[in-house]
Amino acid sequence: MSRIKLAELVPVQYEEKPMPIQDSLKWASRYEDQVGSHVQIFFIQSAHQKCVEHVNSSMDREVGGVLVGNVQFDPIELQTYVTIDDVIPALFTNSGETHVTFTQNTLVDLNSRMDESYPGKSIVGWYHTHPRLGVFLSNHDTFLHRHFFPDPTHVALVVDPYYRRAGFFCWQNGKTLDPAKYVGFYETSDMDDHSIVEWENLEPVIPVVQEQQQEN
């Protein structure tokens, strides 16, 4: 008798919730228009700050970790988005290694910490640094992302802390990954009305206030 595994038949259902656009400042990369349909990213300030403290901790070796949060769906805009509200710095590198790497054990360890410390949240992506090298995915990074972060909503943040540059790499149309073209994100305030982002390759997008002065 064959059993049908229901979990494989039911499409992933994300929580429906409007994107927190009103509480957010958009930071755009120069490639924004050249990257195909992808998940939108809302980076909560306190998580951003924790991430920045970690990525700035070394200017000569790579550091990294995972991005923690939720995947949601905006039913008005019909847009899937991730909210990053924490990061977990991870010790990926063995001494002598020059780049960040993942192993199955790393992820098993991280997932067990998720269940204990972050109930209801999941690992939505990862981050790592390229001190003095710039923002791109190396062949190794692309391999890691394909292997460990295959979900269409998974994102990879690469930061060059020396030149203060950063960008997110996303699955485009759910299945392709461009290792050279990155996008920005929405900075969602939870601690300061002013922006705390200091990545110089991203530009803030100030919304144009449309003054509707209709005289009837």
**Strand extents, DSSP E, the chain:** 15-16, 24-28, 40-44, 64-74, 79-90, 122-129, 155-160, 165-170, 185-188, 203-205
142 touches Zn ion (CB under 5 A) = no
The alpha helices in the chain, defined as continuous H runs, are 6-9, 45-55, 104-117, 139-148
Which residues are paired to 61 by β-bridges? none
- What distance in Å separates the CA atoms of residue 196 and residue 13, rounded to the nearest whole number? 33
Contact with Zn ion (CB under 5 A) among 85, 141, 160, 178? 141
Taking the complex as a whole, the smallest distance from the CB of residue 130 to Zn ion amounts, in Å, to: 5
Q: Least distance from C-beta 52 to Zn ion, angstroms?
A: 17
CA-based nearest residue to 27, from 197, 210, 185: 185
- Of all residues in the shown chain, the one whose CB is closest to Zn ion is 141
Select 61 or 121, whichever has its Cβ closest to Zn ion: 61
CB closer to Zn ion out of 44 and 166:
166
Candidates 79, 138, 189, 201: give the one binding Zn ion (CB under 5 A).
Answer: 138
Contact status, residue 186 vs residue 41, Cβ threshold 8 Å: yes
Produce one character per residue of 87-111: b if its CB has 16 or more CB atoms within 10 Å, e if not: bbbbebbeeeeebbbbeeeebeebe
* Residues 78, 41: Cα–Cα separation, whole Å: 14
Shortest Cβ distance from residue 104 to Zn ion (Å)? Answer: 19
Q: How far is the CB of 129 from Zn ion (least distance, A)?
A: 8
**Binding window for Zn ion (CB under 5 A); candidates: 82-90, 138-146, 165-173, 181-189:** 138-146
Q: Give the nearest distance from C-beta 97 to Zn ion in angstroms.
A: 12
Smallest gap from Cβ 138 to Zn ion, in A, equals 5
Q: Residues in the site for Zn ion, rule: CB under 5 A? A: 138, 141
